[in-house]
Structure 1
Amino acid sequence: MAGACGRAQAPASKTAHPPAPPHIVLIVADDLGWADVGYHNEEVRTPHIDALARAGVVLERFYTQPVCTPTRAALLTGRHPIRYGMAYGPLKPWETSSLPPETPTLAEVLQSAGYATALVGKWHVGHSSRAAHPGARGFERFYGCLQGAIDHLSHERAGAVDFQRDGVTVGDAGYDTDLFAAEAVRIIEDHDPGRPLFLELAFTSPHTPLQAPDELVAKYAQLPERRRLVCAMVEQMDAAIGRVRAALQRRGMDGNTLVFFCSDNGGARRDGGRNLPLNGGKATSFEGGIRVPALAHWPGRIEGGRTAAQFMTALDLLPTLADAAGATLPAALDGRSMLAQLRGGEPLAREDLFFCDQDDEGNYWHALIRMPWKLVRQDRADGSVEQYLFDIAQDPTEKSDLAAGNPEVVSALAAAIAVWRAASPGEPPHSSEPPEGWKPPKDWAEPAR
């Protein structure tokens, strides 16, 4: 603004300070289906998640891998898990795979940028050695379980307790969702807000075993048994998220906290998860298995009240969150920063997006998205092959298989899938049964080797 003599007024300050890096809270639900949140389906009561959705940006095209370990590996490394042999199934208690030590994790990237780091909840990307545990992969604090599923009350897996704090098994009694919320609140309340915090809050709900407080289950009495249990588990998780947000507000951190919420894969339909109107569910490469609820909330930095159609995957979380933090990105990532798109920038055209899994029957599922096309290929254990082609730009619920009328497209996408498969260093088939003679450890916090 010009003064009376036509000269500009001196600025109030000679130094422009860059905005402080945000606190980052990454919330990951376990087997949460497309229709398992209130903002997609009023059957489920999720007022706190819905409030984040209203105030943030809802991602309607967020993709994961079909099951948990590959998705968690992808979001922690920004590299496709097929590159290091963790792509085709959830890590079983008797398996020894883990994240490659030479590949930086999201926690390590943010730690190098000055962040305090903590993981509360489920790890599921390596348990057989101390070098595979969260404390060796950038998380300064860890409270939760190493395995893919535990009893929500006894905290046991295969007859042994899998519940620890920083490498030591704890006997904390209670429903794990509530214990995770209490620990997250404790971390926030103990934290110096002057230092940026990265907190990954990885719930075990609504993954099996289906267990929830009786009073919540009763609220869904009109639903089939498994469905009412899933809804009750989700509602309890939502309440836990509300307690964490309240803690951020009490500490004055909420105004500069980037919250990202997503599921690790689609809902398990046989266990009461719901993905409608999407096709399929967990452990398949149809949309219901890989397209999941997701949102981002960052007051003043991400304009709220929006829905984004940008294609984004779990691989993009490391570069996106590192970008928000001002951290240096590792080399050779498969993911891309989508921070500009979260903030309302023009959508980016995506490179081929590849998905894969091995189901419990030994069938291999693959999918490749090359807009507007998506090819789903099932290589069955008996040697037969089924291929389905969808125009997901016009048919996002995969109602019309167009493979027969588009053989050239099928051939091109199948060839691209073959190239991705060739990137694998070799991954042994996963078995739902332990090898002969295997016994669980007496203490999951103590590695088997």
Structure 2
Amino acid sequence: MSALNKMILKLHFSMCLIVLFSIGTLAQEKPNVIIILADDQGNADAGFQRSPATLSTPSIDKLAASGVIFSQAYASAYVCAPTRAGLLTGRYQQRFGFYTANDSRVGLPLSETTLADLLQKEGYRTGIFGKWHLGIEESYHPLKRGFMDFYGFLGHGGHDYYNFSCPDEKNYECIQRNFKTVNESGYLTDILAKEACSFIKGNAEKKKPFFLYLPFNAVHAPLQAPEEDIKRFNTGNRNRDIQLAMIYRMDLAIGEVIKTLKEEGIYENTLIFYFSDNGGAKATSANNLPLRDYKQSVYEGGLRVPFVVSWPAQLQPSVCKEPIISLDIMPTICAILDIKLPTNKIFDGKNILPAIDGKLKQPLHEALFWDGAENRWAVRSGQWKLVFDKGAKLELYDLQNDISESRNLAAQNPDKTNELKLKYEKWRAEMKTPMGDFKKKNRKKNK
């Protein structure tokens, strides 16, 4: 072999080593994790959800176009706080008695391990920017539940988008940075995005992996938006115009987050989940079509939500039709990062990656359940969904052929109706007593 050929061979071998080293380094690099949670966003109130689109949400739509759209995705509750409790624990929130929005006044039980707890132990910088809604006392504060940075408000449902006055610093509606009340001015959705982008930049500079939880209070009431945004719309319904303006502003905020990720060169290796905490609210003129009903309902309009997962470095654009639930987010993140879930608890969420890959040999969930301790509940198994909505009779729907839940088939399918009823009763028996019931019992004892 000539000296020239030997030199070429050595150079080729060296280049191969460099490439292999680079691939290995990339494979070992931990992805950043972002959860973007909209509040009360309607099923049809995102452009990618309808064809033709009923409105334009370019930032959300681009995220959907580059990621995986889940066409049958559910929140774990029909109101805000319980969904958030399930999201951060990967467990049906009913397992620890968290059924209603009012349970947020007590808080996420201290016995529960949060996603932030687990990620902090893995070396992630953990931050939350927005609406907490999982406890107002100091022991339930985000900084006591695995988060290292907090900017937002503790509770409860909505927050004024312009008025940040805080006469009492212990007021749970005060805007806080960590434990300290801060004075602000501007539009709250914009401010939360600005804080989130600052968090991203700070961690990117330090080359530190981060977990960013961005729970907007948009588009929850009160109906407030910049007037110039409201003027963009003319539906003939003032409330609907404001709602669309709020969605527009939230979409801009999400766009700023994505822009920042790209500017910092970390977008490709950032795992992003985007969804709504429940269906759109009737009071704010949300659009849930073609689904039936709204927030605070166990029909599809109260439960089924827009849901996107984006991770450009690993996931190809696609649509996944497998039914999933927001409880699945925590176990999926842990599976990706090879984090073992605690063995002393039952986790109801599942890793959704096999559903994305099309490698499921059986349904991801044998059944999905909803119960807000208000004499209304539902269970879905396969294409069938059983509903009890404060009525005297059970309702059975074939979601594969009747997404709008317009034809009650319970009378024609008594066996399926009874089968799902028994599934629900078995599941419900495993859940804890609602916090509200527990508090009522204690009040009676103390009288």
Normalised-by-shorter TM-score class: 0.7 to 0.9
Shift of 1:193: 5.3
Shift of 1:420: 2.4
* Counterpart for residue 257 of structure 1: 270
Note if 1:225 corresponds to 2:238.
yes
| Cα pair 1:109 1:328 within 8 Å, conserved | no
Q: Tell me how far apart the structure 2 counterparts of residues 223 and 249 of structure 1 sit (CA, whole Å).
A: 38
163-172 or 421-430: which moved more? 421-430
Note if 1:334 corresponds to 2:348.
yes
Q: Tell me how far apart the structure 1 counterparts of residues 325 and 250 of structure 2 sit (CA, whole Å).
A: 23
167-176 or 37-46: which moved more? 37-46
Shift of 1:426: 1.6
Q: Do the aligned partners of residues 301 and 315 (structure 1) sit closer, same or farther apart at CA in structure 2, a change above 3 Å counting?
A: same
| Cα pair 1:29 1:263 within 8 Å, conserved | yes
62-71 or 41-50: which moved more? 41-50
Note if 1:416 corresponds to 2:423.
yes
| Cα pair 1:60 1:294 within 8 Å, conserved | yes
Superposed counterparts of 1:360-439, under 5 Å:
363-378=374-389, 380=390, 385-429=392-436
* Counterpart for residue 235 of structure 1: 248
Q: Do the aligned partners of residues 158 and 99 (structure 1) sit closer, same or farther apart at CA in structure 2, a change above 3 Å counting?
A: farther
| Cα pair 2:129 2:152 within 8 Å, conserved | yes
Letter in 2 for 1:293: P
Which residue of 112, 117, 142 maps to 1:108? 117
Shift of 1:253: 1.1
* Counterpart for residue 78 of structure 1: 90
190-199 or 293-302: which moved more? 190-199
Shift of 1:32: 0.4
Shift of 1:322: 1.7
- 3-state SS of the aligned residue for 1:108? helix
Superposed counterparts of 1:309-348, under 5 Å:
309-331=321-343, 332-343=346-357, 345-346=359-360, 348=362
* Counterpart for residue 187 of structure 1: 199
419-428 or 144-153: which moved more? 419-428
- 3-state SS of the aligned residue for 1:385? coil
Q: Tell me how far apart the structure 2 counterparts of residues 45 and 298 of structure 1 sit (CA, whole Å).
A: 23
Q: Tell me how far apart the structure 2 counterparts of residues 368 and 99 of structure 1 sit (CA, whole Å).
A: 24
Note if 1:61 corresponds to 2:69.
no
Shift of 1:45: 2.3
Shift of 1:328: 2.4
* Counterpart for residue 445 of structure 2: none
Q: Do the aligned partners of residues 259 and 399 (structure 1) sit closer, same or farther apart at CA in structure 2, a change above 3 Å counting?
A: same
* Counterpart for residue 442 of structure 1: none
Note if 1:276 corresponds to 2:289.
yes
Question: Looking at CA atoms only, which structure, 1 or 2, has the larger radius of gyration?
Answer: 2
Which residue of 366, 371, 394 maps to 1:356? 371
Q: Tell me how far apart the structure 1 counterparts of residues 215 and 298 of structure 2 sit (CA, whole Å).
A: 23
Letter in 2 for 1:40: Q
Shift of 1:92: 6.3
Superposed counterparts of 1:195-214, under 5 Å:
195-214=208-227
Q: Tell me how far apart the structure 1 counterparts of residues 416 and 125 of structure 2 sit (CA, whole Å).
A: 48
Shift of 1:156: 6.3
Q: Do the aligned partners of residues 56 and 133 (structure 1) sit closer, same or farther apart at CA in structure 2, a change above 3 Å counting?
A: same
| Cα pair 1:357 1:366 within 8 Å, conserved | yes
Q: Do the aligned partners of residues 315 and 156 (structure 1) sit closer, same or farther apart at CA in structure 2, a change above 3 Å counting?
A: farther
* Counterpart for residue 17 of structure 2: 12
Superposed counterparts of 1:162-173, under 5 Å:
162-173=174-185
| Cα pair 2:164 2:184 within 8 Å, conserved | no
* Counterpart for residue 290 of structure 1: 303
Q: Deviation per CA, 1:205-240, whole angstroms, max 9, x where unpaired?
A: 110001011011111122412211111100000000
Q: Tell me how far apart the structure 1 counterparts of residues 248 and 292 of structure 2 sit (CA, whole Å).
A: 24
Letter in 1 for 2:290: P
| Cα pair 2:103 2:435 within 8 Å, conserved | no
TM-score, normalised to structure 1, is 0.87
* Counterpart for residue 159 of structure 2: 150
Superposed counterparts of 1:113-128, under 5 Å:
113-127=122-136
Note if 1:136 corresponds to 2:151.
no
| Cα pair 1:181 1:244 within 8 Å, conserved | yes
Q: Do the aligned partners of residues 398 and 347 (structure 1) sit closer, same or farther apart at CA in structure 2, a change above 3 Å counting?
A: farther
Letter in 1 for 2:191: L
| Cα pair 2:79 2:101 within 8 Å, conserved | yes
- 3-state SS of the aligned residue for 1:425? coil
Shift of 1:346: 4.1
Q: Do the aligned partners of residues 346 and 409 (structure 1) sit closer, same or farther apart at CA in structure 2, a change above 3 Å counting?
A: closer
Give RMSD over aligned pairs.
2.4
Letter in 1 for 2:17: A
Shift of 1:429: 4.5
- 3-state SS of the aligned residue for 1:254? coil
| Cα pair 1:61 1:312 within 8 Å, conserved | yes
Q: Tell me how far apart the structure 1 counterparts of residues 126 and 188 of structure 2 sit (CA, whole Å).
A: 21
Q: Deviation per CA, 1:28-79, whole angstroms, max 9, x where unpaired?
A: 0000011111122433221100111111111111111111111101110001
Q: Tell me how far apart the structure 2 counterparts of residues 245 and 80 of structure 1 sit (CA, whole Å).
A: 31
223-232 or 292-301: which moved more? 223-232
Q: Tell me how far apart the structure 2 counterparts of residues 392 and 222 of structure 1 sit (CA, whole Å).
A: 31
Q: Do the aligned partners of residues 223 and 330 (structure 1) sit closer, same or farther apart at CA in structure 2, a change above 3 Å counting?
A: farther
Q: Tell me how far apart the structure 1 counterparts of residues 431 and 258 of structure 2 sit (CA, whole Å).
A: 40
Q: Tell me how far apart the structure 2 counterparts of residues 236 and 329 of structure 1 sit (CA, whole Å).
A: 37
- 3-state SS of the aligned residue for 1:336? coil
| Cα pair 2:98 2:435 within 8 Å, conserved | no
Shift of 1:153: 1.1
